Chain A
C-alpha cells in the first residue's frame, strides 16, 4: 500500500501476557519511529530506527518494551508482561530521512490490557 500500515488495529490482552505490534513503513523509507499516545494527549516518543539500526530508545518506558527492525523494513514493538498502564494507542511513523522530514503515520494499534 501507499501508506504506513499497522497491525493489529485493536489488541486486547490480559495483564501479564506478551504482545507484539507490527508496522509496515512506506516502501523505501529509511527512518521508522514508534510513539505511544494516551487518550487526550499528544504522541510520546518511544524509539526510532535508521534502516536496521536502533539509534535512540530513550523513550521506552521500561525493559519490558523492546523494538526491532531486523531487515530495515518491517518493525515489531514487543511488550512483555503487560501492565494496565500499557493501555494506549501505539503509533508507527516513517520518513525518507531524518533531516527536517515530516513523519508519515499509520493509524495505530489500540492496546487494551485487562
Chain B
C-alpha cells in the first residue's frame, strides 16, 4: 500500500527566511509525485510533477526535488502570500488513477 508522510506538520517562518518541506513516500513503482498548494476553503492547486530521482522543478520562490524515497519543497525568501498548506501526492505504476496524499504541511509566513 502506498504511503506518504509529510513533515513538519506546521512551519512558521519570517518573511525572507528560507526553509524546506519534506515528503517521504513508499510506493511499489513511482509513476509520478505531485506537489499541490491548498488555501483555506479551496481545493488543491497543482504546483509540480516529478517523475524520477534527481529531477528538479522550479516556479518563482519554490523548487521541488526528488530522490528515491523523498521529495523536498524548498522555499526561498518566502513572502506572506506563500502561506498555505502544501500537499504531496504519489501515483504508482499499478493504479494510475489513484493518488495517495500526505496530510500536508501548513506554512505561515509572517511579515
Which chain A residues have a beta carbon within 8 Å of chain B's beta carbons? 4, 31, 33, 35, 40-45, 48, 50, 55-56, 58-59, 91, 93, 98-100, 102-108
27 cross-chain CB contacts under 8 A: A4-B43, A33-B99, A40-B103, A42-B89, A42-B101, A42-B103, A43-B89, A43-B101, A44-B101, A45-B98, A59-B98, A91-B43, A93-B43, A98-B96, A98-B97, A99-B96, A100-B51, A100-B91, A102-B34, A102-B49, A103-B99, A105-B45, A106-B43, A107-B41, A107-B42, A107-B43, A108-B43
B44 and A105 contacting across the interface, CB-CB below 8 Å: yes
Shortest distance between the CB of B69 and any CB in chain A (Å)? 19
B104 and A42 contacting across the interface, CB-CB below 8 Å: yes
Q: Top 5 A-B pairs ranked by shortest CB distance? A: A105-B43, A42-B101, A102-B46, A48-B97, A98-B96
**In the assembled complex, which residues on chain A have CB atoms less than 8 Å from the CB atom of B98?**
45, 48, 56, 58-59
A56 in complex: contacting residue of B46, B91, B95, B100, CB < 8 Å = B95
A103 and B46 contacting across the interface, CB-CB below 8 Å: yes
CA distance A95 to B88 in the complex (A): 17
**In the assembled complex, which residues on chain A have CB atoms less than 8 Å from the CB atom of B42?**
107
**Complex: chain B residue closest to A98, CB-CB:** B96
Shortest distance between the CB of B91 and any CB in chain A (Å)? 7
